[in-house]
Amino acid sequence: MADGFDLVIFGGTGDLSRRKLLPALFSGYVAGVVPAGSRILLTSRSGLEGEIAPWLKTVFDETAPACGMDAKALADFAQMVQVIELGLVKGGADWDALSEILNSEPERPIVHFLAIPPALFTSTCDLLGAYGLNGDRARVVLEKPLGNDLKSAQAINEDVGRTFGEDQTFRIDHYLGKEAVQNLLALRFSNILFEELWSGRTIDHIQITIAESLGVKGRGGFYEGTGALRDMVQNHLLQLLCLVAMEPPARLDGDSIREEKLKVLKSLKPLEGADIDRNVVRAQYGAGAMHGEAVGSYQEDLQLDAPSTTETFVAIKAHIENWRWAGVPFYLRTGKRLPDRFAEIVIQFKNVPHSPHPAWGSNLSPNRFIIRLQPEDHLALRMMVKNHTAKGEALREVEMNLDVVGGGDAVRIGPYLRLILDAVAGDQSLFVHRAEVEHAWRWVDRIINHWQDSGKAPLSYQAGTWGPYEAHDLMTHDRRQWFHESGGRRNGK
Ligand code: BG6
């Protein structure tokens, strides 16, 4: 890879490319991990008028202002970028031009990044195949959503599979590219301390939360046809659950990790009928206030005329039916327009079986291991220590913060850059296997079908609150609490 790679971004001037991919690539170029000889080809149906550099500057000013600051680096980076006007028809001069560019460097890896709606995956892959752009050095990266249900996901996988082998197909879940998620693997599998404690013998339950403060304004028809279960649970939350729950793989390579994750998905207890009503909370935000400012409801944000049943919040109590996790609930939760933006995994251990000091028992909290994925990477262990106060002995909870943010010569790279570089290197360990996608859909489809059959509308919660009361009940019913409700501090503060 010394002299670089070729990256073709289909939908190269679109939203994902502008907001995430181009800023990520630019930061990689500045950090020296994207070699200067690489070529970034942005395909677009309408092409681009004018020069690349000023266009990139405008894009960065909108999406990642820090990138636009270094004019020299930006000008150099712009040299690597080309916009190619490309339709989706065979026989056009545009595809010949693309092939010619790619074939002019016959040895280097090519990554085709499909940042386009999944409805265009088939025709794009068919054309890549027809032009011979699917050889061994080529990989295809598929951005979510990978379908809307099991059937459509299978169809996408079949269609893409006609042109690209599974070892060439890289299904992105950008949560897997987050540094703290990878640290979770490092932590679990390079420290004996955790493995010994990592099961229902010691762990009481696990909470995984992805909270967002933004609403859905500007997401148009996509969100209305999707909802939180498909948008966040089917992929990000279930992937995090897999990484927390999987057995130690023999090796940290793509096949071994993905086999173990798949076993977790296969062991997820299917939720059916009344179980779904009891264990899944589904809600949509109404009007409310965020940080003192009035904000509109979901209906208003999407300017919908008719009432919608799309959920913007889900909380689920799930179980993994295997030896390690029998009896340990996994509480998953995600929502838009919550008071804060963070993603966090909380491993809550059991209470000590007996407290040997009469004064200690009164404020004894269980140990918790907290993995914060955002807004910052952070690992913390919460433990009890003793205080001597005027009133005598007392226990106090302290947080042991593990400094995971780069030691030595660590280079910090964001999730998209990390995943693009892995795709270039052909490393699939942080990508999702076809079978994982399909199993996740199988589990989620049951819930969606039940909602549809029951004809019930989602609950409502006020924007700027932690979701409906029923989500709180899901925990208190089990004599448990969401971490933030139990006074959980974030960011060590
Ligand atoms: C995307 C979802 O996959 O993830 C969005 O489609 C969501 O709805 C986003 O906002 C969250 O990603 P992050 O990295 O900002 O937490």
Say if residues 359 and 393 touch (Cβ distance below 8 Å).
Answer: yes
The protein residue whose alpha carbon is closest to atom 6 in ligand 1 is: 231
Q: Does 381 reside within a domain?
A: yes
Specify whether 134 is located in the same domain as 192: no
Do 102 and 200 fall into the same domain? no
Task: Evaluate whether residue 170 is within a structural domain.
Answer: no
Q: Are residues 189 and 292 in the same domain?
A: yes
- Using the atom order of ligand 1, give the atom closest to the CA of residue 223: 8
The dihedrals phi and psi of 462, each to the nearest 5 degrees, come to: -80, 135
Q: How confident is the model at residue 405 (pLDDT cuts 50, 70, 90)?
A: low
Instruction: Indicate whether 346 and 467 sit together in one domain.
Output: yes
Do residues 165 and 134 touch, judged by C-beta distance below 8 A?
no
How far apart (Å, rounded) are the C-alpha atoms in residues 263 and 245?
A: 10
Which residue out of 175, 176, 233 has the highest number of ligand 1 atoms within 8 Å of its CB and is therefore the one to mutate? 175
Residue 150, in any domain of the structure: no
Residue 1 lies in a domain: no
Q: Is the pLDDT of residue 493 over 70?
A: no
DSSP 312: S
What was the pLDDT predicted at 433?
A: 97
Residue 453 lies in a domain: yes
pLDDT value of residue 406:
61
User: Helix (H, G, I), strand (E, B), or coil: what is residue 379?
Assistant: strand
Domain span holding position 109: 6-143
- How many CB atoms are closer than 10 A to CB 309? 14
User: Which of 98, 128, 143 finishes a domain?
Assistant: 143
Residue 347 sits in the same domain as residue 282: yes
Q: What pLDDT does residue 237 have? A: 98
- Please name the helix (run of DSSP H) or strand (run of DSSP E) that holds residue 179, with its range, or none: helix 179-190
Tell me if 163 is assigned to some domain.
Answer: no
Mean pLDDT of the 420-431 span: 96
CATH of the domain at 69: 3.40.50.720
- Token duo for residue 406: 């780069």
> Would you say residue 164 lies in a domain?
no
Q: Are residues 307 and 454 in the same domain?
A: yes
Same domain? For 119 and 242 the reply is no
SS3 439: helix
User: CB atoms < 10 A from the CB of 182, how many?
Assistant: 19
| Cβ atoms < 10 Å from Cβ of 6 | 21
Considering 112, 205, 236, 433, which one is annotated as catalytic?
Answer: 236
User: Looking at residue 458, what is its pLDDT?
Assistant: 97
- Report yes or no: 18 and 12 within 8 Å, Cβ to Cβ: no
What value does the mean pLDDT take over residues 405-421?
78
129 and 15 inside one domain: yes
The alpha carbon dihedral of 61, 66, 71, 75 has a sign of negative
Cβ-Cβ contacts under 8 Å for 62 (sequence gap 6 or more): 18
> Do 299 and 347 reside in the same domain of the chain?
yes
SS3 368: strand
- The set of residues, in sequence order, having a beta carbon less than 8 Å from that of 412 and lying 6+ positions away, is 179, 405, 406
The answer, yes or no, to whether any atom of ligand 1 lies below 6 A from the CB of 231, is yes
Q: Are residues 194 and 95 in the same domain?
A: no
- Whether 397 and 282 share a structural domain: yes
Residue 158 lies in a domain: no
Q: How far is the CA of 384 from the centre of ligand 1 (A)?
A: 35
pLDDT-based confidence at 407, cuts 50/70/90?
low
Query: pTM higher than 0.85, yes or no?
Result: yes
The percentage of the chain sitting over the pLDDT mark of 70, rounded to a whole number, equals 96
How much is the pLDDT for 490? 47
Per DSSP, the three-state class of 380 is strand
How many structural domains are present in the chain?
2
Give the mean model confidence (pLDDT) for residues 239-246: 97
Same-domain pairing of 135 and 182: no
Q: Enter the tokens of residue 159.
A: 């269609």
CATH of residue 428 = 3.30.360.10
The predicted model gives 464-476 an average pLDDT of 97
How many Cβ atoms are within 10 Å of 412's Cβ, its own excluded? 12
Task: Answer whether 464's CB lies under 8 Å from 290's CB.
Answer: yes
Q: Give tens-digit pLDDT for 95-140.
A: 999 999 999 999 999 999 999 988 999 999 999 999 999 999 999 9
Residues ≥6 apart with Cβ < 8 Å to 70: 30
**Between helices 150-163 and 434-454, what is the axis angle to 10°?**
150
Query: Would you place residue 491 in the very low, low, confident or very high pLDDT band (cuts 50, 70, 90)?
Result: very low
Are residues 233 and 316 in contact, defined by beta-carbon separation less than 8 angstroms? yes
**236 noted as active-site residue:** yes
Q: Which residues contact 87 (CB under 8 A, 6 or more apart)?
A: 45, 94
CA dist 326 and 328 (Å) reads: 6
At residue 66, the pLDDT reads 81
Show which of 93, 125, 143 is a domain's final residue: 143
Lowest mean pLDDT among 90-94, 180-184, 213-217: 90-94
Tokens of 239: 């992937």
Q: What percent of the chain has pLDDT over 90?
A: 74
pLDDT reading at 387 higher than 90? no
Q: Residue 125: what pLDDT?
A: 97
Question: What does the mean pLDDT of the chain come to?
Answer: 92
Report the separation in Å between the CA atom of 165 and the middle of ligand 1, taken as the mean of its atom positions: 28
Which of 95, 118, 143 marks a domain boundary?
143
Query: Which pLDDT does position 218 carry in this prediction?
Result: 78
Closest CA to 362 of 328, 396, 318, 333: 396
